[in-house]
Homo-oligomer: A and B are copies of this chain.
């Protein structure tokens, strides 16, 4: 199990917004912050980490802002979480010192058996889901008239996919 804080959530939301607007001119951090209800200064720090991990690109000056560094289908949620949280070392391990030493190698090992099972399960979901997957879900969610999500601010970004293009 990996360390997960609000940073992951914020980073994920910002990145998803960027994915919804992929191909458009760069978006300033202020716009991303307002649309997702995230403190601007805090989001800047997070975007900075994403930039250092080369997941997003930043351009300065008027008309500048952030954009995805590559295709949404080639950025996973795990990439974002890892870039934002830093170490991403497992925290719910019965024996972290064992794992740190690389001591537990056996398949039947207790540490492997339980703690790493959880970690692997998480990793599979995190690394198996791309921003493109999330975008597709968000758009589908928007189509479903019974889903109250569609009134939310963040999903309005999907409009540009229909109209702006």
Interface residues, chain A, CB within 8 Å of chain B?
A: 1, 3-6, 8-9, 12-13, 16, 37, 77, 81, 91-98, 103-106, 108-111, 113-114, 117-118, 121-122, 125-126, 129, 133-134, 137-138, 140-141, 144, 146-149, 152, 154-155
Contact = CB atoms under 8 A, between A and B. Distances in A.
A121 B110 contact: no
Contacts of A8: 91-92
A109 B12 contact: no
A91 B6 contact: yes
Contact of A94 (B9, B98, B147): B9
Q: Lowest 8 A-B CB distances belong to which pairs?
A: A106-B147, A110-B141, A110-B138, A110-B137, A4-B92, A113-B137, A109-B147, A103-B148
